[in-house]
Chain A
Amino acid sequence: MDSKLKDHRGALLASVERRLFLRRSLSLGALALLSGCDLTDGITENDRVQKILTAMSRWNDRAQGWLFDAKRLAPEFPASMITDPFPFNAYYGEDEVRIVDSTDYRLEVGGLVRERKTWRLPELYALPQVSQITRHICVEGWSAIGKWSGPRFSDFLERVGADLTAKYVGFKCADDYYTSIDMATALHPQTIMAFKYADQVLPPKYGFPWKLRIPTKLGFKNPKHVMALFVTNQDPGGYWEDKGYNWFSGS
């Protein structure tokens, strides 16, 4: 498809979704809170309240950036505390999990990096790996403990000559999911390219061929089936972030 057309369609969809969100984000209970407001002018009032809430969410991004300690490690747990089975979660059902072909797979690395090459799986598997047993916390509130293994993302970023002073790293996934994280979190020692879950090759439902495992962020900031990543100074947003979920979403 013509990429311009695709972009345009994306923007249109995003604006429709944003409007839906505006309508949904205020219930009658909220309107009742706005005593003295002209209720016949509800939509405008919604827009104004939504503007304040969005500004507060941006403020919370900054506050969480300051709170984030690059050296503070997420707690690790004994194997006996692992949640089995580890829950599946995505914006679609488990029967719609994308199957990525391992032989065709090429990881695209772009943006502010020295080496803009693509990576095949055997090359990625050859990188030195670490393991972690950490708690995955979902924005919905539930949590589960699992074991992930793979190379440190910071090692990978250094290897490709990424501009480590850039602000963001963005991710595009095989299931059309996308998200982005701050550079400080990308360089955190526990942020890993998880090729394994429970010492086995990462199964499709957990994001084959790999997911970025970030124990210092909520689950939806851990992209699965990553096909491309890019280093940038322009906020790339994200699938849920663009619908109103807090961008930083740190733990």
Chain B
Amino acid sequence: MTMKTVHPLLVRITHWINALAILIMVTSGWRIYNASPLFDWSFPADATLGGWLAGALQWHFAAMWLLGLNGLLYVAYGVFSGHLRRRLLPISPRAVAGDLLSALRGRLSHADLTVYNAAQKAAYLAAILLVFGLVLSGLAIWKPVQLHSLAALMGDYEGARLLHFFCMTGIVLFVLVHVAMVAIVPRTFLSMITGKLGHG
């Protein structure tokens, strides 16, 4: 059995910082949502962070720096090292559809975990785009006057709030599927810590 580095050190570090940042942003964000719900339901208070609105806002606006700076580092590394292109491209809708179907039938091969299948590529690209959408809509909500052109693209302040909510929903769904997949193929969990993957 050979050990191959699948995740460079910087990707592993930024992955776990990102996981922590997303956890803080989502749970504090739920508390902020509860202060003035967009829909006629609220998140269970026990699943939220901050204890009350001011506490949740403090967490949210502290962790946004963690999420933003860590995300910039990851994307800059991914673009300039070619890591993102190598791992996530090329991708075609046909391949994604095909791999999704075989995954649902339980026939997707996990023989070589060093290469992402098309469904994985789509999911990871979606996660990156969703965080991008969360950051941009979040900035528009935070600064609807100073960053008014950004907010205007999203239908002003209220539109940005909706977009922020839907991107949050998307990233939570991604995390649920992502964690379920890791539970099914537990070797992938260790590889995101050690970087190595035994295969063959």
Binding site for B on A (CB under 8 A): 21, 23-30, 33, 52-54, 56-57, 60, 67-69, 72-75, 135, 137-143, 215-216, 240, 243-246, 250-251
A139 to B58, CA, bound (A): 12
30 contacts across the A-B interface (CB closer than 8 A): A21-B54, A23-B51, A24-B51, A24-B52, A25-B55, A26-B55, A27-B51, A29-B27, A29-B46, A33-B20, A53-B58, A54-B58, A56-B65, A57-B62, A67-B143, A67-B146, A75-B144, A137-B157, A138-B36, A139-B35, A140-B35, A140-B36, A143-B158, A216-B145, A216-B146, A243-B54, A246-B57, A250-B145, A251-B143, A251-B146
8 Å CB interface, B105-133 against A:
none
Q: Is B32 an interface residue (CB 8 A)?
A: yes
Chain A hits for B71, CB < 8 A? none
B23-37: CB near A (< 8 Å → 1, else 0) gives: 110010000110110
Could you tell me if B156 and A75 are in contact, using CB atoms closer than 8 angstroms? Answer: yes
> Min CB distance, B154 to chain A, in Å?
13
Q: Which residues of the partner chain B approach A140 to less than 8 Å between Cβ atoms?
A: 35-36, 53
Report the Cα distance A246→B54, complex, angstroms: 8
Q: Which residues 26-74 of B have a CB within 8 angstroms of A?
A: 27, 32-33, 35-36, 38, 45-55, 57-59, 61-62, 65
Which residue of B has the minimal Cβ distance to A25? B55
The answer to whether A139 and B57 have CB atoms under 8 Å apart is: yes
Residue among B20, B35, B47 with the most chain A CB within 10 A? B35
Q: Please indicate the chain B residues that have their CB under 8 angstroms from the CB of A53 in the complex.
A: 55, 58-59, 62
What residues of B have a CB within 8 angstroms of the CB of A72 in the complex? Answer: 145-146, 148
CB neighbours (8 Å) of A67 from chain B are: 143, 146
A27 touches B48 (CB 8 A): yes
Bound complex: CA A69 to CA B54 (Å)? 26
Chain B residues with CB under 8 Å of chain A are 20, 23-24, 27, 32-33, 35-36, 38, 45-55, 57-59, 61-62, 65, 143-146, 148, 152, 156-158, 161
| A156 CB to nearest B CB, Å | 22
Q: Which residues of B contact A68 (CB under 8 A)?
A: 146
Interface SS majority for chain B: helix
A23 to B156, CA, bound (A): 36
With a cutoff of 8 Å between Cβ atoms, the chain B residues found around residue A33 in the complex are 20, 23-24, 49
User: A25, A27, A52, A244: which contacts B46 (Cβ < 8 A)?
Assistant: A27
Quick check: B61 and A60 within 8 Å, CB to CB? Answer: yes
Q: When the two chains form their complex, are residues A245 and B54 in contact, meaning their CB atoms are under 8 A apart?
A: yes
| A142 vs B50: C-alpha distance when bound (angstroms) | 19
Q: Is the CB of B36 within 8 A of A141?
A: yes
Contacts of B35 in A (CB 8 A): 139-141
Query: What is the distance, in angstroms, from B135's C-beta to the closest C-beta of chain A?
Result: 15
Residues of A within 8 A of B59 (CB): 30, 53
A67→B53 CA distance, assembly (Å): 24
Given the interface contacts A30-B49, A141-B33, does A251 sit within 8 Å of B54 by beta carbon? no
**How far, in angstroms, from A6 to B27 measured CA to CA in the complex?**
40
Q: Known pairs A27-B46, A139-B35, A243-B54. 9 more at Cβ < 8 A?
A: A25-B58, A29-B27, A29-B48, A75-B145, A75-B148, A75-B152, A139-B57, A215-B145, A216-B146
A243 to B57, CA, bound (A): 12
A242 CA to B144 CA in the complex, in Å? 25
From A244, which residue of chain B is reached at the shortest CB distance? B54
Contacting pair A25 B61 (CB below 8 A):
no
Contacts of B50 in A (CB 8 A): 25-27, 30
B51 contacts which chain A residues (CB < 8 A)?
23-27, 30
Please measure, in the bound complex, the distance between the C-alpha atom of A21 and the C-alpha atom of B24, giving whole angstroms: 19
Q: B48 — which chain A residues lie within 8 A by C-beta?
A: 27, 29
Pick the contact of A24 from B47, B55, B57 — CB < 8 Å?
Answer: B55
